[in-house]
Amino acid sequence: MPRFDPITRDGLVELITNRVLELDGRMLTAVDGADAAEPVAIADRVATALRDTGRAAEVVALHDYIRPASLRMEFGRTDEVSYRTAWFDYAALDREVIRALRHDARWLPALWDEDRDRSARSPIRTAAPGTVLLVAGPMLLGRGLDFDLTVHLDMSEAALHRRTPPDDQWTIPALLRHDRDNSSAPTFFIRWDHPDRPALRVDDTARR
């Protein structure tokens, strides 16, 4: 049975940062979690901590790889299947960030401007040696994306209902379904029902 040990937010940032620093070269880290878990905020803190050590680090928000509204809302704004399968362009993320960093030492920070619903027109960036890209957003794990480290901020159904804005409550079944279907074990599995007092899973299954 897994054991959960209490950990602070600062402790979590330090844990992720130290694990990243154990690895050399350009690398990719996923911070996976529902929007209600604010994965981008954790990724930003880790990136800042890495920069403080002299390591180049940047954050890619999955919402900057969202698909155009005409595609993601083809079957209505609140279609649960569409949210799991059509809202975010995971293939483009793989092509423009993950594979691009590994093969060409380049990456595209953003593909689509969600607010304006148009191309983000972001210039391609060249990655310095040792650059760490932290990709943050929902439903990243279990999609065959080639991350070096993975962090999952896990929230129960009750916690999701507490922390998800009313207009986005319809996404909760999709998030829970994805978690049920995903069998991959993250490097760090964090119980995140109460972000002010998270807990780290300690067992033999968490690996990557």
What is the pLDDT at residue 2? 80
What is the pLDDT at residue 203? 74
Residue 207 domain-assigned?
Answer: no
d(C-alpha 51, C-alpha 80), whole Å: 38
What is the pLDDT at residue 117? 94
Question: pLDDT tens digits, residue range 146-176?
Answer: 999 999 999 999 999 999 999 999 999 999 9
d(C-alpha 158, C-alpha 102), whole Å: 39
pLDDT at 207 over 50: no
Please, which residues have CB within 8 angstroms of residue 197's CB and are 6 or more apart in sequence?
6, 8
Query: What is the tally of structural domains in the chain?
Result: 1
Task: Give the residue, 21 or 74, on which the prediction is more confident.
Answer: 21
**pLDDT grade, residue 1 (50/70/90)?**
confident
Over the chain, what HEC string results? CCEEEECCHHHHHHHHHHHHHCCCCCEEEEEECCHHHCHHHHHHHHHHHHHHCCCCEEEEEHHHHECCHHHHCCCCCCCHHHHHHCCECHHHHHHHHHHHHHHHCEECCCCEECCCCEECCCCCEECCCCCEEEEEECCCCCCCCCCCEEEEEECCHHHHHHHCCHHHHHHHHHHHHHHHHCCCCCCEEEECCCCCCCEEEECCCCCC
User: Mean pLDDT of all residues in the chain?
Assistant: 95
Query: Residue 107: which domain range?
Result: 3-202
Residue 118 domain-assigned?
Answer: yes
What is the pLDDT at residue 137? 98
What is the pLDDT at residue 205? 44
What is the pLDDT at residue 183? 83
Residue 95 domain-assigned?
Answer: yes
**Domain CATH code at residue 117:** 3.40.50.300
Residue 57 domain-assigned?
Answer: yes
Question: pLDDT tens digits, residue range 114-148?
Answer: 999 999 999 999 999 999 999 999 999 999 999 99
Question: pLDDT tens digits, residue range 32-51?
Answer: 999 999 999 999 999 999 99
| Residue type at 127 in one-letter notation | A
Mean local confidence (pLDDT), 54-70: 97
Mean local confidence (pLDDT), 5-30: 96
Residue 137 domain-assigned?
Answer: yes
**pLDDT grade, residue 13 (50/70/90)?**
very high
Q: How many CB atoms lie within 10 A of CB 43?
A: 27
Question: pLDDT tens digits, residue range 171-191?
Answer: 999 999 999 999 889 999 999
d(C-alpha 3, C-alpha 16), whole Å: 19
